[in-house]
Chain A
């Protein structure tokens, strides 16, 4: 169980960093992605991740850190996200985020929820449950985009690499 306040804050602050990184990645991709329909999907998801980061940032303030306290993830995961941001091509970008990064992130959020005290850490769980719903919707929207644009999915190697990273939460404080 994520027992103490420091542990919870490290996790939340790391999730915030991840939300911002994904937001910035998709925002950077938008002008260089030709397909109008992909840009439109990115536009909504940019706002989703901004709201996630905002809610997580307000939570860190309740866990004895400043508002919007943010921690860079563990090195391996941080490198993985940076490599993702350099991907080119619409099909490759959509695969990387929606087949690898977000399914992996969903699992990590679910793991946090399972490990948390459902009463003591309920404010975190309310935020994360909303984030999980948004991520599930995003995966559905990406699948619809792929059908609309007739682009291939699946990035199995990338997804496997994401799964191989055991811990994303920074140990720094």
Chain B
């Protein structure tokens, strides 16, 4: 594979899939995923496998941003390069955990949706908005609750792994917040690209979101998009330099289900 092209689904132009080991089966819809309702051994393995492959996608995205925008400010390129290293370590540590659990690469279907959306955008501000500031910030909310859930299920090892990863993700969101502001201060037209990226993400999400009542391959009932908003990880969003107004807006959208700070995030 030399270049990765684009594909059109209805009227939406997305980026075609990045390269994956042949053992992986890439799917598009949540209904094709093997996500379990319970925290059984296989359910927890699927979670770890899914997060591992999501980190591969994050690595691909950061690397592509670094290569595709050679004229970006050097300090921003350093952040992207550092993110490449962070994401590669996340893949390694989750793969290690997966094998400890008796799992293997390709055991479950995977998605590369974040790549398909983010790398369809032709500007770095838009990509930082979509991937780092929205999707990875959302992952902070998910993982913020997930590591507690794992611990409650008696899986301290997976919980520790996820908590370590979460600390790195704060910086990925934070540098995006800082650089979007900095780029917009230099050129206010950047805000148009940010707005355009936000609209694009919302439009794609709506098009591909599963409908309430649908079930996945293993029979798990899939909730609607609105019902699946995780509890907001207020502490880490604050560390990632979301301001109070932004956090309040996210809490408002989530129905004010905020994550209570019962543990430090250090």
Interface of A with B (CB < 8 Å)? 23-24, 26-28, 30-36, 39-44, 46-47, 49-51, 54, 57, 68, 86, 88
Closest to A54 in B: B78
Q: For the complex of A and B, list the 10 residue pairs with the smallest distance between their C-beta atoms, beginning with the closest.
A: A43-B88, A50-B81, A47-B85, A30-B63, A28-B67, A31-B18, A34-B19, A31-B60, A27-B67, A27-B63
Given A35-B21, A40-B59, A54-B78, 4 more A-B residue pairs with CB atoms under 8 Å apart are A31-B19, A34-B22, A36-B56, A57-B74
Task: Assess the A47–B82 pair: CB atoms within 8 A.
Answer: yes
Residue from A24, A33, A35, A44 within 8 A of B66 (CB atoms): A24
Q: Given A27-B84, A44-B88, A46-B81, are A32 and B59 neighbors across the interface (CB < 8 Å)?
A: no
Contact status B74-A68, CB under 8 Å: yes
Contact A42 B66 (CB under 8 A): no
The answer, yes or no, to whether B1 is at the interface (CB within 8 Å) is yes
| Smallest beta-carbon distance A12→chain B, Å | 16
B contacts with A, residue count (CB < 8 A): 34
Contact call A50/B78, Cβ cutoff below 8 A: yes
How many Å lie between the Cα of A24 and that of B68 in the bound state? 9
Binding site for A on B (CB under 8 A): 1-4, 18-22, 56, 59-61, 63-64, 66-67, 70, 74, 77-78, 81-82, 84-85, 87-89, 91-92, 95, 105, 115, 119
Q: CA–CA, A34 to B4, complex, Å?
A: 12
Question: What's the least CB distance linking B24 to chain A, in Å?
Answer: 9
Partner of A32, one of B19, B21, B77: B19
